[in-house]
Amino acid sequence: MTSEYPGNKVEIYTWMTCGYCVRAKRLLKDKNITFIEYAIDGDDQARQQMILRAAGRRTLPQIFINGQGIGGFLELQQLEYDGHLDDILESQAKVGREGAV
């Protein structure tokens, strides 16, 4: 899949049976946003890494855009509803295009 927003790094920590994880991935896919998924089912080390990156948050999914934690599915959905998700991703994509030679 080609990303609508090149230059962005979107990461998502998930569990296979997590409904909110499935919904977050669907929202990202529907918007043609490529992402890196860390399936942490049964991986205590990966879960601890997520908790550290997410400032102590333990719920799933945890989503990061360009290294910044945005929270979980509900926060992602709110960003999309408010039109801010496109703003965040487009601003980074624009920086990437302007920096290209």
Banded pLDDT at 101 (limits 50, 70, 90): very low
The domain of 54 spans 10-96
Instruction: Assess if residue 5 is contained within a domain.
Output: no
**What span, in angstroms and rounded, lies between the C-alpha atoms of 69 and 97?**
24
Report residue 2 as tokens.
Answer: 């080609």
Residue 41 domain-assigned?
A: yes
Q: Has residue 68 been placed in a domain?
A: yes
51-72: average pLDDT: 96
Selection from 20, 30, 100 nearest residue 57 by Cα: 20
**Which residue from 22, 17, 27 is spatially nearest to 65, judged by alpha carbons?**
27
**Is 1 part of any domain?**
no
d(C-alpha 24, C-alpha 30), whole Å? 10
**pLDDT tens digits for 73-90?**
999 999 999 999 999 998
Total of domains in the chain: 1
pTM of the model: 0.88
Structure tokens at 61: 């999914």
